[in-house]
Structure 1
Amino acid sequence: MQILPKFKDSEHFKTFWAKGNGKQLLDWSGWKPTFENFEKFAHLYYQVDELGDNAVSDTYFKLPYNEASALVQQFSKNKISDNDDAPESLKKIFLQMQEIPEWFDENLANIGARFCMRSGTNDLIILRDFTLMGGYDFAYLNKPLIFTGALKKGAVKRLKDTLEFWVHVTRENTLKINSEAYQLIVRTRLMHSYARLTIKKKIENWDYENWGEPINSWDMIATYTGFSLVTMQGLKKLGVKISEEEEKGVFHLWKYIGYLLGIPEEFLPENKQQAVEQLYLWSSIQNKGDDDSAQLAKALLDENLTNTIYKFQFQRKLLLNLHQSTNWFLLDREINERLQIPKVGIASVFPKLIIQANNLSQSVYNLNNPLKYQKLVEIGNKQQMKVLDDYIKHTPKDFHY
């Protein structure tokens, strides 16, 4: 199936890349817009993780759930070999994940991980109010969420899962084979395949022409570019300084995570120029936010009021206002309006306080001093682990996929 950049002349595409956050990305990267390489990437819209799909077909779709889970867990925690008694498809996916590519540089990935940690709660704010919320404006990207019932399951569970995944994969020395983070990546990869196969089996009105394959490789690249490129853009907006080495490390870290998740490694961006090109070309096939997008945005905002981390309703309402203020500070006006995010009175006060705090901490903890830098890493890690712990404690236990 052939696909064209059909939204390249649409108002929402042109506004984003000529005036909004897209223009900032172009200015930051120095990449000049061109559709020269569109065909190079377009086929990814109809490409999926076949190793993951085959493994799920031979386990979760054939065996009792507990038996399938035990088998997957066994080889997540211990290395697999050709001699093991397991479905051939399961051997193939684990053998691929166990093969560390020649290009992987653990030291460089650790530089990226340390940056993720030292950014502390800034990173969590950006992930929620910029990366995740901004992603809802890409209407087609979100269709798998709608068809798998993400709205009915609630945003609390989704936020906990996303936070748990992000925190565990961005710690130093964490991506060893059979580590806890590795096991989490295995579960995430197979969950993607399970959701895709379920959609293909049960959803008759899936629009392949416009939406591509469910959870396709190009959508996956765009999603994980959100964790690298877009997240760093958001952090810069909050006054977080990023060195060239840290920037390189973040891209390298997420390239390896993407590889473990079954995304074709040769297409994963290694720097901001490649990442901006991918995002630019991919966004030309994405319609602007629709009613589903607005519902997802509302669910994310309402999570502030339903989550029990804060005991009193006035605390939750204040938290909601703070997140809305950062949405309006970080996202383009058109996107806030399409997602129907209510505007709060003085929208920029809270983000400006964050910027001041970051400027102060970065001057006190000199980023060029290794000992002081490490202290920031420790403080940031502690902040992030505390938030994750709160979410784990306060996520309802009766959620089931």
Structure 2
Amino acid sequence: MERTMIQPYFKDSPHFKDFWAQSNGKKLIDFSGAEVNFNHFEKFAPYYFHVDKAGDQVVKDIYFTKKFQEASREIEGYIRKGISAHDPVPESVKQLFLPIQQKPEWLDDRLLKSGAELCMRSNLDSLISLRDYCLMGGYDYAYLNKPLIATEALKKGAVKRLSETLDFWVNVTRYNALDVHGKGYEFAIKTRLIHSYARLSIKKHYQGWDTEKWGEPINSWDMMATYIGFSLVFLHSLHKLGNRFSEEEEKGIFHLWKYVGYLLGIPENLLPNDKKQATEYFYLWTSIQPPSDRDSVLLAHSLLNESLENPILRFKFQRRLLRYLHISCTWFLLDDEVCERLQIPKVPFKYGFPKTKRFFNAMYDQWVKRETRIKRGNKDQLKVLEDYHRITQNSNFH
């Protein structure tokens, strides 16, 4: 039976209209120079039901036919050593790996380097942006979150989930990370197969999945929106926190995430080249997303309370202070309406910390050399990741 074409169901809803007329959506339009309309909605809509079939078939052929550890070792061998067209491996493995072992013609190593350098030199502002704008803001899109609920992400806990996201982000944004067989390349391919494994598991075991409403689990259009979060939304957050970046760095961020998205199996025509294109793509996708629901609130509060649960900081007062700082950044970076829907607690002097950061960033940008900031940012980000690794790999931590 042919599936009914999805429509921009929420384009007349208050949450959509307010976002794009007066809130962060309006700021994104001003920031990017985008021209938003629904002229190309039909071109994107089919991707709500489109998935990475190549990744799914590899999971079926490898992970579903062997013990998990054995399958993982086999996949790691393909990633780290590569394969040829003549190797005696499943056809699905060839279809996935042979294309991505060759860098696409459009790839520019100079832009990859610029994008990585912006991620590093923005230091902890990068991590604040990822957590308090990109991740928290994403919870406001109710349908986007359904795979997290279906795979019982809440039971895993926010500390572990945040650690995995940080691990991925750090490892794909270092120098030369995305070279074929490199560490970032490995993270991208493993993440791609995790998505396929989760999708197939949801379709097999989660009886309540509503495909007509939510699309296919982890579909290509939702994946596009997620990676626009890592590029456009991330860049906008750095801007709001007072960070300056060159045109080359800006192009680099989009180029870096376009290549990561390509490795993850997102169709190339869904991967924007710049902030104008990204905003126009994002506009269309948001028109199919309702605002926060009960699951969104649960996910948001799980993330907020991560600071209290995480034993990286030894004392309770330190954890409470960290939670307060993240709440302050969330109110500063997101719209008040979004924070209210997600039931983010109101705190005193909620803009004090982020506004101080803006002032500090303006001074830091003038006084400290770019190369020094890149080295310091890389070191600080790796230290945060190391702390999360130490905590989550402790067998006593749940």
TM-score (norm. length: structure 2): 0.97
Deviation at 1:109, TM superposition (A): 1.0
Deviation at 1:99, TM superposition (A): 2.0
Aligned partner of 2:317 in structure 1 is 314
Q: State the AA in 2 paired with 1:57.
A: K
Deviations 1:49-107 (A, max 9, x none): 01100000001111121221111011111011122222211121111221211000111
Deviation at 1:399, TM superposition (A): 10
Q: Secondary structure at the match of 2:88?
A: coil
Please give the residue correspondences for 1:191-206 in structure 2 after superposition, counting only pairs within 5 Å. 191-206=194-209
- Structure 1 regions of 5+ residues with no counterpart? 366-371
Aligned partner of 2:160 in structure 1 is 157
CA distance in structure 1 between the aligned counterparts of 2:26 and 2:395, rounded to whole angstroms: 43
Note if 1:51 corresponds to 2:54.
yes
CA distance in structure 2 between the aligned counterparts of 1:339 and 1:177, rounded to whole angstroms: 40
Please give the residue correspondences for 1:209-288 in structure 2 after superposition, counting only pairs within 5 Å. 209-288=212-291
Runs of 4+ in 1 over 2 A off after TM superposition: 396-400
Aligned partner of 1:378 in structure 2 is 375
Q: State the AA in 1 paired with 2:144.
A: L
Q: State the AA in 1 paired with 2:135.
A: L
Please give the residue correspondences for 1:1-400 in structure 2 after superposition, counting only pairs within 5 Å. 1=3, 2-365=5-368, 372-397=369-394
Q: State the AA in 1 paired with 2:143.
A: Y
Given that 2:54 and 2:96 are in contact with CA atoms closer than 8 Å, whether structure 1 keeps it comes out as yes
CA distance in structure 2 between the aligned counterparts of 1:160 and 1:104, rounded to whole angstroms: 29
Q: Secondary structure at the match of 2:63?
A: coil
CA distance in structure 2 between the aligned counterparts of 1:127 and 1:288, rounded to whole angstroms: 20
Q: State the AA in 1 paired with 2:373.
A: L
CA distance in structure 1 between the aligned counterparts of 2:69 and 2:177, rounded to whole angstroms: 27
CA distance in structure 2 between the aligned counterparts of 1:344 and 1:396, rounded to whole angstroms: 33
Given that 1:305 and 1:317 are in contact with CA atoms closer than 8 Å, whether structure 2 keeps it comes out as yes
Deviations 1:369-395 (A, max 9, x none): xxx211111111111111111111111
Given that 2:221 and 2:270 are in contact with CA atoms closer than 8 Å, whether structure 1 keeps it comes out as no
Given that 1:111 and 1:250 are in contact with CA atoms closer than 8 Å, whether structure 2 keeps it comes out as yes
User: Residues 59 and 398 from structure 1, CA distance in 2 versus in 1: closer, same or farther, beyond 3 angstroms?
Assistant: farther
Given that 1:157 and 1:399 are in contact with CA atoms closer than 8 Å, whether structure 2 keeps it comes out as no
Q: State the AA in 1 paired with 2:281.
A: Q
Given that 1:222 and 1:282 are in contact with CA atoms closer than 8 Å, whether structure 2 keeps it comes out as yes
Q: State the AA in 2 paired with 1:315.
A: Q
Given that 2:176 and 2:182 are in contact with CA atoms closer than 8 Å, whether structure 1 keeps it comes out as no
CA distance in structure 1 between the aligned counterparts of 2:218 and 2:383, rounded to whole angstroms: 31
Q: Secondary structure at the match of 1:305?
A: helix
CA distance in structure 2 between the aligned counterparts of 1:399 and 1:297, rounded to whole angstroms: 25
CA distance in structure 1 between the aligned counterparts of 2:392 and 2:186, rounded to whole angstroms: 21
Deviation at 1:396, TM superposition (A): 4.8
User: Residues 327 and 251 from structure 1, CA distance in 2 versus in 1: closer, same or farther, beyond 3 angstroms?
Assistant: same
Given that 1:153 and 1:399 are in contact with CA atoms closer than 8 Å, whether structure 2 keeps it comes out as no
Deviation at 1:397, TM superposition (A): 4.4
Deviation at 1:279, TM superposition (A): 0.6
CA distance in structure 1 between the aligned counterparts of 2:394 and 2:202, rounded to whole angstroms: 25
User: Residues 136 and 399 from structure 1, CA distance in 2 versus in 1: closer, same or farther, beyond 3 angstroms?
Assistant: farther
Q: Secondary structure at the match of 2:79?
A: helix
Count of residue pairs the alignment pairs up: 395
Deviation at 1:187, TM superposition (A): 1.0
